[in-house]
Structures are given as C-alpha cells and as structure tokens.
Structure 1
Amino acid sequence: MNRRSLNLALAGSLATALTVLALPAKAQETEKCYGVAMKGQNDCKAGMHDCKGMSTSDYDSESFKLVPKGTCTSMETPKGKGTLEPMKS
C-alpha cells in the first residue's frame, strides 16, 4: 500500500470513528417511580424539597427515582411496591 492510500484509509477510519462518537445514543425511556429511592439518591420530590439527592429517608413515598419505563410498579421495597404517583406518608 502506498503512502497516499494509507493516509486516505486512516483519514476515512478516523472520520467514521468521529461520526459514530458524535451520534447521540438512543435515550432509554424512563418514568418517575415514587417510593423506591434510597436516602439521598432520589431524582426529585413532590413536596418538601425539589432537589436531586435531598431525600432524608429510604423509600420516601413522595420522592421519585427515574427508572426504565414499565418497571416501577413491579419494584419491591420493604415498604411495598413503587408507584407512578406520589403518596402522602
């Protein structure tokens, strides 16, 4: 392979690799699942605070965690299953 062919091949490979890296990955659909987040690991809350990571207790029924769509209500915790709507404690 001559030098020019090698340079073209390398440039093509680099361009392909950069294109693949620049494409956004398909975002997984998620849903808010209340009552499954551990203390300080919530994504948000409906009520006392609205900040990520601010829950003060495990499985707070008003704090949610983003989970893959369709999995929330099958999640088991010591306090019951996850819910798609906030529950008053």
Structure 2
Amino acid sequence: MKKVSAIALASAVAGALALAGTAVAQTKGASGFKCWGVAKAGQNDCGNAAKTHDCAGQSKTDFDLGEWKAVKDAAECTKMGGADKPGKGKNTNVKM
C-alpha cells in the first residue's frame, strides 16, 4: 500500500512541475525571452502567433507583432521597443 502511495505522490509532483514549466515556456523562447514585434522580414526565430508557420525565417513583414525574436530578458525587449505578448499589426515602437 505504501509503495502505491509513493508512486502516486511522485506522479502528482511530476505533473505539477510539468504544468508550471509550460507557463515559462510560453514567454521564453528556445534560448531566451520571446520579444514580439522586433523581427525584420525573414529574421524571426520560430513560429508566429497566428500559427501560419512554425519555422524561423518565415516572417513576411518587418516588425510584425505576431512574430518574435529571442532576446536575453524582458528588460532587453523593452529597450528594443518590443512587446512581451503577441499582438496584431506592425510594431511602431521599435527602437532598432
């Protein structure tokens, strides 16, 4: 009985950790913070918010708020004029 309880507890902890990690994964890219609206056409880091592509380098327009580039952290994104969440249209706040 105790062996089953230990396995159940371990499974519950593993599940909770997995769920906690998904919130971070949405904000952080593969190698940094997702900074939305700072990528030039063809220079995005991965898939877009609209899910029309899922690969790097496929953005069609400069500074599209639905495209992102990985940066070091939120402060760097803010300094560049980027957004921490995806949006629609062109980013007019870019400081590049």
| TM-score of the superposed pair, with normalisation by structure 2 | 0.54
Q: Does 1:85 align with 2:75?
A: no
CA contact (8 A) 2:64 2:88 kept: no
Letter in structure 2 aligned against 1:53: G
Q: Does 1:49 align with 2:53?
A: yes
Give the drift of 1:88. Answer: 1.5
* Dislocated runs of 4+, deviation >4 Å: none
Identity %: 46
Q: Which runs of no fewer than 5 residues in structure 2 stay unpaired?
A: 1-30, 90-96
* Structure of larger gyration radius: 1
State the match for 2:23 in structure 1.
none
Letter in structure 2 aligned against 1:59: F
State the match for 2:79 in structure 1.
74
Which structure's residues are more often helix, by fraction? 2
State the match for 2:16 in structure 1.
none
Paired residues in the alignment total: 56
Alpha-carbon distance in structure 2 between the residues aligned to 1:49 and 1:62: 11
Give the 5 Å matches for 1:16-35: 30-35=32-37
State the match for 2:22 in structure 1.
none
